[in-house]
Amino acid sequence: MNLRTRTAVAAVLWSMGAGGTVYASPILKLTPSPDLVGSPGSVKGWGFTLTNDFGFIEITAAQFCVNPACTPSTLGTFIDFISVFNDIIVGDASAPDMGTESEPFDALAKTGIGSFAISTTAAGTDIGQIILTYNLTDLDPSDPNAVTLDTGLTVSANASVSTTGTPEPGTAGLIFLPVALLAFGRIYRKFRS
């Protein structure tokens, strides 16, 4: 069955209320690892590989939430690169050059799923998941003949953020500079007297 026929069948079944069973969810893999480890004050992030087997998916947003209630992390701030900087569309494997999309994390180029800025006072581990929200269409969403099959669908992957015990060198310098100045001042006053 070709893509156009599968899409037409899916649209008919979807309108009859059988939409949830017509297509499988895409598969999300976080790269290079789902588990970020960084020192307080550092910025880390997730790249991804997304595999799609039906229609075209257009990723509209990403979030990192802590289980079980999908709350924001207490260790820092997640910045969604996808909804702000990138337009990611993945067609199924029958489309030319489609089926899988991979993008490494790069904080400067703003590629990947997003970045996580670990707070300078953070300590511990937050275990949760990355959740991508996407829309499903039968053709590339930029095609004027594309039919939207569903919106607001999600795909997720387990993820975590952990802190190491020491701050980044720049942060450590900011913390120890006042102490060093006080010590220098005392030594200077002692020799001057």
pLDDT tens across 41-61, in order?
A: 999 999 999 999 888 999 999
Give the residue, 89 or 62, on which the prediction is more confident. Answer: 62
Q: Which fold has domain 3-166?
A: Immunoglobulin-like (2.60.40)
Rounded-to-integer distance, Cα 27 and Cα 146, Å: 23
Helix, strand, or coil (residue 118): strand
CA 50 from centre of chain: 12
Give the residue, 86 or 185, on which the prediction is more confident. Answer: 86
> What are the domain boundaries of the chain?
3-166
Antiparallel, parallel or unpaired: β 114-118 and 76-80:
antiparallel
Q: Are 134 and 126 in contact (CB under 8 A)?
A: no
> 1-15, 108-122, 176-190: which has the minimum mean pLDDT?
1-15
DSSP 8-state class, residue 25: P
Most confidently modeled of 8-22, 76-90, 169-183?
A: 76-90
Say how many residues make up the chain.
193
The proportion of the chain whose per-residue pLDDT surpasses 70, expressed as a percent, equals 71
CA 189 from centre of chain: 53
DSSP 8-state class, residue 187: H
Can you give the pLDDT at residue 170? 52
Amino acid at 30: L
Amino acid at 61: A
- For 125, the token pair is 């581990």
**Across the chain, which distance is largest between two alpha carbons, in Å?**
93
Can you give the pLDDT at residue 17? 43
Antiparallel, parallel or unpaired: β 148-163 and 125-137:
antiparallel
Helix, strand, or coil (residue 168): coil
Rounded-to-integer distance, Cα 162 and Cα 118, Å: 9
Rounded-to-integer distance, Cα 22 and Cα 32, Å: 31
- CA distances, 115 to each of 31, 129, 156, 181, 193 (Å): 13, 14, 16, 35, 53
Rounded-to-integer distance, Cα 51 and Cα 29, Å: 9
